[in-house]
Amino acid sequence: MSKVNATIMSGIMVLSAACPMAAEPHSVYTAVCYVSGTSTNRGVSCFPKDFIKDVCGAGVNDTVITVPAGVTEIPDYAFADCASLQKVILPEGLETVGDYAFLGCGSLESVELPSTLSSLGEGAFRECTSLKSLVIPQNISAIPRYMCAWNQNLTSVSLPEGTKDIGSHAFAYCKALESVDIPEGVEHIGSNVFSRCAMLREITLPSSIKELESYAFSDCRSLRRAVLPANSHLLGEFLFIGCDSLEEIVCESPEPAPFDCGTPFFDPSESHRYRECRLTLVPSAVHLFRSAPVWRLFFQCDDN
């Protein structure tokens, strides 16, 4: 019978133990474009050509497009599926980038968001598979759903200190993303935010988080260490399902957080993860975690 290993290191108790649950980790969103009032399935070109031609004085096959000074809003789907676009120059004074504005711009390598930008639309840079980095300006407080989803070459993203909300699937399927700093002040992280970020190795969640939704880190195969918020707010379902390399979960909360629907960290088929993954706790809180739903799975083998 295996034992729970407990050691005290720098005022923190490290535990390791056994057992688990799960469901489908991903929901795949299919975008719908609206052109001249008609709905069109994702996959066809569905951008308002008049913006590119009449406002920017450019063509849909141009590699570099400059949005002129005085423009304060880029409309929904403005550059969607512009496969040749490599660089877009945005003016200071721009305030809004609409929904799916750059959807499917597979050659887009460079975009500098102006400091005046205050609103990013859903899926604004989704499927921009050549984009390697993105710096979000300080006036943005909400990262929208699907913002950079399926950006397979995105390696880094910088979130501003004023960020409050990160929408579901914002960085899902970003296979090259190795790290992201989530600033103190973020209160909500949506479902599947980092699902299938294959190169993500460590994540630290600030104590300001009040809601961490389900499957947030599902199938992050390289994730080795996760630091949970130091509070007892509700945790979502199956946060670490498919995280085969996870070695340590750190929780410095003085009391155990509840889980949505009582659902544990891992799938039932991954019960071994409770033996192999260390749970690092504040020593004074160990007795509370030992009897708490889900958390007690880390102690189960020892108790048996």
Write the pLDDT tens digit of every residue in 197-238. Answer: 999 999 999 999 999 999 999 999 999 999 999 999 999 999
- Evaluate whether 17 touches 25 at the Cβ level (below 8 Å): no
Helix or strand (DSSP H, E) at 188: strand 188-189
pLDDT of residue 110: 86
pTM, 2 dp: 0.82
Write the pLDDT tens digit of every residue in 278-292. Answer: 999 999 999 999 999
pLDDT of residue 262: 83
pLDDT of residue 302: 52
- Evaluate whether 15 touches 276 at the Cβ level (below 8 Å): no
Residues 6+ apart with CB under 8 A from 113: 90, 97, 134, 135, 136, 137
pLDDT of residue 225: 97
| Cα–Cα distance measured from residue 183 to residue 166, given in angstroms and rounded to the nearest whole number | 11
| Cα–Cα distance measured from residue 141 to residue 160, given in angstroms and rounded to the nearest whole number | 8
Three-state DSSP at 55 gives helix
| Cα–Cα distance measured from residue 75 to residue 97, given in angstroms and rounded to the nearest whole number | 7
- Evaluate whether 138 touches 158 at the Cβ level (below 8 Å): no
- Evaluate whether 20 touches 297 at the Cβ level (below 8 Å): yes
Q: Hey, what long-range contacts does 62-66 have (CB within 8 A, 24 or more apart)?
A: 63/87, 63/107, 64/88, 64/89, 65/89
Largest CA distance in the chain: 73
Please report, for residues 1, 153, 163, 181, 247, the alpha-carbon distance to residue 156 in angstroms, rounded to integers and kept in the order given: 43, 9, 16, 9, 23
Helix or strand (DSSP H, E) at 225: strand 225-227
> Residue 81: which of 33, 117, 23 has the closest Cα?
33
Write the pLDDT tens digit of every residue in 38-86. Answer: 333 333 334 455 899 989 999 999 999 999 999 999 999 999 999 999 9
Higher pLDDT, residue 4 or 189: 189
Angle at 235 between CA 199 and CA 17, to 5 degrees: 75
The residue whose two tokens read 């499917």 is 104
